[in-house]
């Protein structure tokens, strides 16, 4: 059975503007406004899911989706770096940041390594495309790291390719196929259709 998994990256918040490690912060006013404006452009799907972060839940609500918070597509667990600015961590722990960027198995922050993130998100993605899947079409508002990890897994890219993928706020990335064989349509902006 072919499955369609649509991943929407959440709207802008202060943590993203300040290049903070996935701090669970609410949307900022412009992010909330842009999400509300994009509500009409969200494609129809079967079950709608939301990552558990406040940013994902608020984006989901602003898009007008009735979605259940889902722990499986939670953002990257960066443990003690969570909420801190990248510049601050790089200044205080330059060797650890270098190791984290160079080695997909490194987790100097005490949380998930990149390899662990890709494995976790790949397992979740494949469960949606597996024989026991509850439907054929899913929509999930998930953190950008989750979208990037899903693309790495779906296309069987090396883990280090994660760092070469950019996911803008409020974009749609679609994976279609089934467990072990996915096609990817990347980063379509959610914009409202023209009045007509």
Model pLDDT for residues 90-104, shown as the tens digit of each residue: 999 999 999 999 999
CB atoms within 10 A of CB 147: 25
Domain count along the chain: 1
- Per the model's pLDDT, the better-predicted residue between 119 and 17 turns out to be 119
Is residue 127, in this structure, part of any structural domain at all?
yes
- What are the tens digits of pLDDT across the range 128-160? 866 666 568 889 999 999 999 999 999 999 999
* CATH code, 52: 3.40.50.1240
Query: Residue 117 falls within a domain, yes or no?
Result: yes
Q: Hunting for tokens 């961590």 — which residue is that?
A: 89
Cβ–Cβ < 8 Å for 12, 148: no
Residue 94 in any domain: the answer is no
CB atoms within 10 A of CB 131: 7
Using a pLDDT cut of 70, give the percent of the chain over it. Answer: 92
Range of 68's domain?
3-76+113-189
pTM of the model: 0.91
- Could you tell me if residue 108 is inside a domain? no
For residue 95, is it within any domain? no
The token pair that represents 181 in the structure block: 């064989």
């Amino acid at each position: 059975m072919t499955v369609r998994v649509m991943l929407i990256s959440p709207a802008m918040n202060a943590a993203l503007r300040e290049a903070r490690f996935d701090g669970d912060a609410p949307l900022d006013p412009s992010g909330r406004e842009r999400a509300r404006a994009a509500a009409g452009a969200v494609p129809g799907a079967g079950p709608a899911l939301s990552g558990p972060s406040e940013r994902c839940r608020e984006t989901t609500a602003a898009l007008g989706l009735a979605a259940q918070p889902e722990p499986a597509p939670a953002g990257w667990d960066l443990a003690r770096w969570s909420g801190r600015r990248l510049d601050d961590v790089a200044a205080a722990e330059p060797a650890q940041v270098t190791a984290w960027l160079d080695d997909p198995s490194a987790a100097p922050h005490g949380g998930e390594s990149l390899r662990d993130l890709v494995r976790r998100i790949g397992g979740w993605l494949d469960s949606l495309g597996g024989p026991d899947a509850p439907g054929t079409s899913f929509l999930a508002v998930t953190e950008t790291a989750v979208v990037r990890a899903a693309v790495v897994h779906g296309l069987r890219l090396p883990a280090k390719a994660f760092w070469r993928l950019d996911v803008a706020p409020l974009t749609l990335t679609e994976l279609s196929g089934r467990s072990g064989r996915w096609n990817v349509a990347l980063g379509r902006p959610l914009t409202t259709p023209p009045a007509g």
